[in-house]
Amino acid sequence: MRNRAWVGILMMSIAGGLAAQEVEPVNLPPPQTEGGMPLMQALKERRSTREFSPVGLPPQVLSDLLWAAAGVNRPASGKRTAPSARDWREIDIYVATADGTYVFDPNAHALRPVLPRDIRALTGTQDFVPRAPVNLVYVANLDRMTGPGSDQKGLYAAAATGFIAQNVYLYCASAGLATVVRGSIDREALAAAVGLGPNQTIILAQTVGYPKTAH
Ligand SMILES: Cc1cc2nc3c(=O)[nH]c(=O)nc-3n(C[C@H](O)[C@H](O)[C@H](O)COP(=O)(O)O)c2cc1C
């Protein structure tokens, strides 16, 4: 990443002998929720791009990206920028970077460490995936999907992921970032590397970075 100081603190904690899950979350800078490109212009610009610069995303950009994806936009209820059936909030966003793997905690607006390893190459089968600075992995936690509608978990989790992915597409259009949502994943290998449980399903992944020509 361009600014590695905040990640460095985290890595020191891990090197100090704590298991990743015991390390304190990494607080992201508060998201900048004003401004950006007008919506209609962002819709005009939305597209899939498969050529990325290896330059990392600054913490503020990562913060804004994750807030746009599924951050809390109504703090009183904890509800988010993306809808979810029955407000299950079943999709967790794993964030794979060169510095390690995290899961986004929307309530704390923080990254919780998952693995002190670069597993970007495992998040997709295409050649640009390992080199791009950020790969988001959308994982459904099926345990949160209870009550009416829970007989259609796959359908609802896929729909919820689609909303998040489109939020990311629109943020990237607005911020001049490149992105592509991806289904081409070796899900078994990735789930094993991340240590997912039997009730966690990888739905899609999404690569984000600066366009190759910009840097
Ligand atoms: C569910 C889904 C899965 C996709 N999987 C991949 C993928 O694995 N690899 C890829 O390069 N693009 C993938 N795409 C992106 C599509 O190829 C892309 O959206 C389509 O070609 C239209 O281009 P556009 O997004 O620029 O409009 C996927 C899109 C969706 C909606």
- Give distance in angstroms: CA of 35 to centre of ligand 1: 28
Query: What local confidence, expressed as pLDDT, does residue 10 receive?
Result: 39
| pLDDT beyond 60 at 82 | yes
Q: Could you give the CA distance from residue 128 to residue 106 in angstroms, rounded to a whole number?
A: 28
Q: Which of 118, 19, 131, 110 is nearest to 59 (CA)?
A: 110
Query: What local confidence, expressed as pLDDT, does residue 12 receive?
Result: 35
More confidently predicted of 2 and 44: 44
| pLDDT beyond 80 at 15 | no
Q: Select from 168, 181, 187 the residue to mutate for testing ligand 1; criterion: most ligand atoms less than 8 Å from CB.
A: 181
Cross-strand partners of 101: 96, 115
At 204, list the tokens. Answer: 């899609």
Query: What local confidence, expressed as pLDDT, does residue 6 receive?
Result: 40
- Express each pLDDT in 88-124 by its tens digit: 999 999 999 999 999 999 999 999 999 999 999 999 9
Query: What local confidence, expressed as pLDDT, does residue 24 receive?
Result: 57
| pLDDT beyond 70 at 215 | no
In a 3-state reduction of DSSP, which class is residue 201? strand
- Express each pLDDT in 21-57 by its tens digit: 545 578 899 999 999 999 999 999 999 999 999 999 9
- Express each pLDDT in 178-200 by its tens digit: 999 999 999 999 999 999 999 99
- Express each pLDDT in 134-171 by its tens digit: 999 999 999 999 999 999 999 999 999 999 999 999 99
Query: What local confidence, expressed as pLDDT, does residue 26 receive?
Result: 86
- Give distance in angstroms: CA of 20 to centre of ligand 1: 33
- Ligand 1: nearest atom to the Cα of 47: 26
DSSP 8-state code for residue 58:
P
Query: What local confidence, expressed as pLDDT, does residue 66 receive?
Result: 98
Q: Could you give the CA distance from residue 71 to residue 32 in angstroms, rounded to a whole number?
A: 12
- Ligand 1: nearest atom to the Cα of 165: 31
Q: Select from 48, 51, 125 the residue to mutate for testing ligand 1; criterion: most ligand atoms less than 8 Å from CB.
A: 48
- Give distance in angstroms: CA of 201 to centre of ligand 1: 19
Q: Whose CA is nearest to atom 31 of ligand 1?
A: 181
Cα angle vertex 169, ends 186, 106, to 5°? 80
